[in-house]
Amino acid sequence: MTGSGKLAQRVARRSAAEIEILQQAGEIVAETLQVLQQHMQPGITTKELDNLAEENIRRRGAVPSCKGYMGYPATICVEIDDVVVHGIPDHTQLKEGQIVGIDLVACYQGYHGDSTITVAIGEVDNERQRLLTVTREALAAGIEQARPTTKLREVCRAVQQRVEAAGFSVVRSLVGHGIGQQMHEPPQVPNFVAEGEFPDYELVLQPGMVLAIEPMVNAGEPAVRVDSDGWRVRTADGRPSAHFEHTVVITEDQPLILTERRDSLPLNYAPE
Ligand code: MF3
Ligand code: CO
């Protein structure tokens, strides 16, 4: 058995029946994010958004995956401006000019869906607007590589190339992941290629594998710091960061995005 063969054995390949459940989990996450997006206006508190998310997830017969995970106290993670990931909802009100990410994971019949959107609150400056566009495009570029016989490194490389071509940087200390019966499963899915650091780069993608691909993109330097609450991660230089994430199934042909609303525009609608 080769090293990459052992690697492939650690990564689950989901059956058609499992993918059907994952699709429902993904749909619940996508719908919930759409509901939140409609409420993301100046003045709403992040705790109000958290309540809306939990209500919608439970109404659909699912449960919030993050709540209670390693002691995390909420349904959503909120990412305002320089917050990269894992902001705990509180009494903070959204303000015009911010970019605000919502990272949401829900579990339906034992299977998890994970997605993140970052939204402009009213008018935002050019740098923030460009950060949103580039991060969304980097996710689309990574998803485009998520096909059978391709190595995982091509997903990582595609994300990194799009981000760095725009003059932004990818966060190094946080990565995407496999997902299924656990929120975090092998493989690790970095948003960059650094030979030697991640054995999972060698993974040959196969139909039925499910990945949460999630570029975290900083306007400035890649370095991040954890706040004193032990959760909230911010950029070290204080400049803004954006985050988009989808749960994606490798299929025989097109990558299947589980967390995209079927009635919304496709992720890569922008002409080349
Ligand atoms: N989508 C986040 C991740 O992939 C979820 C974090 S939930 C938390 O890590 F409980 F860790 F906050
Ligand atoms: Co994730």
Domains located in the chain, CATH noted? 3-255 (3.90.230.10)
Q: What is the pLDDT of residue 184?
A: 98
Would you call 144 exposed, middle or buried from its count of C-beta atoms within 10 A (0-12, 13-18, 19+)? middle
pLDDT digits (tens, 9 = 90+) for 228-249: 999 999 999 999 999 999 999 9
**Cα–Cα distance list, 26 to 10, 20, 170, 196, 198 (Å):** 23, 10, 25, 33, 27
Q: Tell me, in angstroms, the distance from the centre of ligand 1 to residue 1's CA.
A: 34
With a Cβ cut-off of 6 Å, ligand 1 is lined by: 66, 69, 72, 77, 86, 103, 105, 114
Q: Is residue 72 helix, strand or coil? A: coil
Q: Which two tokens stand for residue 154?
A: 């091509």
Q: What is the pLDDT of residue 2?
A: 45
Kindly report whether the global pTM for this prediction surpasses the value 0.85.
Answer: yes
Ligand 1 atom closest to the Cα of residue 69 is 10
Q: Is residue 66 helix, strand or coil? A: coil
Q: What is the pLDDT of residue 265?
A: 45
Q: Is the model's pLDDT at 32 over the cut of 80?
A: yes
- Mean pLDDT along residues 110-119: 98
- Mean pLDDT along residues 44-52: 98
Residue to substitute in 33, 50, 65, 72 for testing ligand 1 pocket (most ligand atoms within 8 angstroms of CB): 72
Spell out a b/e string for 18-50, using b for 16 or more CB atoms within 10 Å of the CB, else e.
Answer: bbebbbbbbbbbbbbbeebeeebeeebebbbbb
Q: What is the pLDDT of residue 271?
A: 34
Spell out a b/e string for 163-173, using b for 16 or more CB atoms within 10 Å of the CB, else e.
Answer: beebebbbbee
Q: Which two tokens stand for residue 190?
A: 């970095």
